Homo-oligomer: A and B are copies of this chain.
Amino acid sequence: MLLARKTLSRRAPRLRDPERTRQRLLRAASREVYRYGFQSAGLDAILAAANVTKGALYYHFESKEALGHAVIEEVVAKLQRDRWLVPLQRSKDKEPIDALIGVVQAIPARPKDVKGGCPLVNLTQEMSQLDEQFRKRLERIFHAWQEGVAAALRRGQHQGTVRRDLVPEETASLLIAMVEGYEVLAKNAQDVKVWNMGIRNIVGWLSSLRAPGKRRRS
């Protein structure tokens, strides 16, 4: 019955798989935190969702805070990279403004995403004032985000497709503020329509950043 086990490296249903357990915990924790916030997230609920016991949790993480830190660094940060930095990196063939418009429009707009809001905003609102450890980790993500957008804008300025009168870092922060702001409005309304309206307005504003004159090639 268990003869097929062997040591086939992958897919062998080992009963002990610490890395897998850790990932299950991170996954369950990020969901619970996303939904209820860090402070109100219950360890017991996380354990139940991950199908893991308390002993396993405290083997992998030394406290609830440590678990929260790992969620930020490994789940939230990755999410932000995948949605913004990677796409921006990959679309260096396109004009930066078009790339940014594409990225903004690609932000998930399913009801559950809109109703849950942006994980980054959720955690910032709850924790930045209360816990410096959380704040620093979140700030790194914001900074990378802003830097990524600013880099794209700078590239556009060099190639002449983006207005030269704007400061890339500040314009980047304004874009981020708009996105986060609309996430808040849409979360409050619990309505996808609000989010879609926000995207339209943001895209319109992004278009206004193009350098004047130079007609774009169709």
Q: Please report A residues at the B interface, Cβ cutoff 8 Å.
A: 35-37, 39-40, 115-117, 121-122, 124-126, 128-130, 135, 138-139, 142, 170-171, 173-174, 176-182, 184-185, 187-190, 194, 197-198, 200-202, 205, 208
Contacts and interface: CB of A to CB of B under 8 A. Distances in A.
A201 B185 contact: no
Nearest to A139: B188
B187 A201 contact: no
A124 B182 CA distance: 12
Copies of the chain in the assembly: 2
Contacts of A176: 181, 185
Contacts of A187: 124-125, 128-129
A124 B40 contact: no
Given A36-B130, A173-B201, A185 B180 contact: yes
Nearest to A182: B177
Residue of A37, A117, A125 with most partner-chain B CB within 10 A = A125
A197 B177 contact: no
B184 A170 contact: no
Contact of A184 (B121, B130, B205, B208): B121
B198 A177 contact: yes
A200 to B, nearest CB: 8
Contacts of A197: 170, 173
Contacts of A208: 208
Contacts of A201: 170-171, 173-174, 177
24 contacts: A36-B39, A37-B126, A39-B40, A40-B40, A122-B125, A124-B187, A126-B126, A128-B187, A129-B187, A129-B190, A135-B188, A135-B190, A142-B189, A170-B200, A173-B182, A173-B198, A174-B178, A174-B198, A174-B201, A176-B181, A176-B185, A177-B201, A178-B181, A181-B182
